[in-house]
Amino acid sequence: MGTIQGEFEHLVLLSTMRLGDEAFTAAIVEELETRTGREVAPPAVYVALRRLEKKGLARSALRRNGDTGAVRERRFFAVTAAGLEALRESRRHLTAMWSGFEDDLGEVAP
């Protein structure tokens, strides 16, 4: 099973999950920018998606975008079962590491 290598891969996987059937590179970029408030380079997202595919954490397929009626095909992405498990494991580890810092950070534990 592949592992998630960093914050950006986490964010890309989570954005892909959030977008569901409409997860193609441009939509993922827009989702990341909206949710993080940071500018995101489309090539960086595409590279991360391909890396996640090689690890078995995501998969892709070419298809037409039904919502826009686009004539050309786009590559749509989805998180695999292995990707979901990697996210679950990562969340468990991060939650365990953050535990106990609530007073220091002034936040409530998840």
Distances in Å between the Cα of 100 and the Cα atoms of 22, 26, 92, 104, 109 are 38, 38, 14, 8, 8
Does residue 51 fall inside a structural domain? yes
Say whether pLDDT at 18 is over 90.
Answer: yes
In-domain check, residue 71: yes
Model confidence at 4, pLDDT cuts 50, 70, 90, reads confident
Residue 109 in domain: no
Give how many domains the chain has, as a whole number: 1
Block residue for tokens 């679950």: 88
Domain span at residue 21?
Answer: 7-99
Give residue-wise pLDDT tens across range 22-74: 999 999 999 999 999 999 999 999 999 999 999 999 999 998 766 656 567 89
pLDDT in tens, 62-110: 987 666 565 678 999 999 999 999 999 999 998 898 888 877 777 655 5
CB 49 within 8 A of CB 77: yes
110 lies in some domain: no
What's the CATH number where 37 sits?
1.10.10.10
